[in-house]
Structure 1
Amino acid sequence: MPELRDTSSATYAVCAIPIVALDASGAAARIVRDAVERRSCQVHLCNAFTLSLVDQDDQLRTALTHADLNLADGVPVALMGRRHGMAGPVRGSELVRQVATSGSDRVRHYLYGGKEGVAELMADELRRQVPGLEVVGTESPPFTPITDEHLDGLVQRVHESGANILWIGLGTPRQDYLVHRLSDSLAMPIVPVGAAFDFWSGAIKEAPRYVQGTGLEWLYRLAAEPRRLWRRYLLGNPRFLLSAWRHRR
């Protein structure tokens, strides 16, 4: 099994990808530390859909196997790590909250993702809920393929902003590719959180708390966005189970 770098936490394999057995609080503490110390940290939130793609997507597999923190995003991935101390899934929106709260006076955030205006609305809500929080940059990506020239400009803007953490909200696997592509140029945590941009901005309503962590949140999201998400869940979930069974040890 590939080893994640620089972590003392237990890891376990799902679909032959190493997952770190940390909850949202533990992951946030690690991310804040690396942000403050200006340490590169490639983070990925691995849910069933993400892991269902790795057998057919070499670029995604490379990104995940070179990561510093692959976190269990979703009940099925978390349950597979119970004997390694995994207490529950790490949801993207909750991870943002934990990092924002625990690093409020030490972490400067750059938000890159969502449709036009979404990152700005997310920044406003973060500032409202965490007084004193510094969001030093927001931007939406182009709808066209992201070129190396665009990424060079992004790196320059992030550096000039003074940020020490970059959040990416582009959806899987596009956001995961960027983490790996940017890691050599940015000495900071780079964290893809997908739908968290929409949840924090209010563009999409998040599942009620009584649904979160039950393993049924995917049904809520499917009901809310059936045309966009039906392939992810109705095809991705069986593909994930087959891959997890095939790679079991």
Structure 2
Amino acid sequence: MDQMPALSDRQTHILKAIIEEYIATAEPVGSETLDKKYSLGVSPATIRNEMVRLTDLKLLHQPHTSAGRAPTPVAMRYYVDHLMKTKDMSVAEEVAVKDKVWEYRQEIDKLLREATKALAERTKSLAITATQDGDLYYSGTSHILDSPEFFDYELTHDLLGTLDEFDYWWKLLEAHNDPFAILLGEDLGGKNLSQCGFIYTKFATPHVSGAIGVVGPSRLNYPAIIPVVRYLGGLIDEFAGSW
């Protein structure tokens, strides 16, 4: 990953606004949109000038002939590492998720299958669970077509192809020792998944070890998805660790 250049506070605020708007819309972001929707405290002309500087720093790029800008992988990595604030799940949301898997808490295969399904439903994303025993569960494949990035046939073909490749996912997990991680672009190995992101948390019990997570476009709604991934990973640890 390229080294992150030093930014002024103003550039940081503008970059954060661009990334969050891009996450929400999947559309390149223009200075007028930023001026109308975000309280940046500067003029549209200043926003435009700073966007040019951020583009020169390779944190933004201009897709095709669009007047707007989109974040680069370096910018997305900076956002997930330093700028975003995750949203806590409400008690009602936690109860709803727990109810989805509660009756399967004594059977590991059903627990992992239903946890994967619950994660996909809650996040509206493709959810994946892999275990050290060589099992790969996934749910929510139709959700990837809700993201315009996956109108790209080759990208969708390559991502769906990995669902038949347990070794790909397990090697990816083994290559990263952190119990929780966000992988972006080149972090995802040699596959043609440069536009993708993968959020996962590992679980380890006397009966099963592995990881559960969500994969999608690099502009995943990280603040909303991260707490759900963590919560379901914690439930697997709790249930499978109590047998």
Give the structure-1-normalised TM-score.
0.29
Q: Which fold has the larger relative contact order, with Cα–Cα distance below 8 Å and residues 6 or more apart in sequence?
A: 1
Give the structure-2-normalised TM-score.
0.30
Which one has the bigger helix percentage? 2
Question: If you compute each CA radius of gyration, which structure gives the higher value, 1 or 2?
Answer: 2
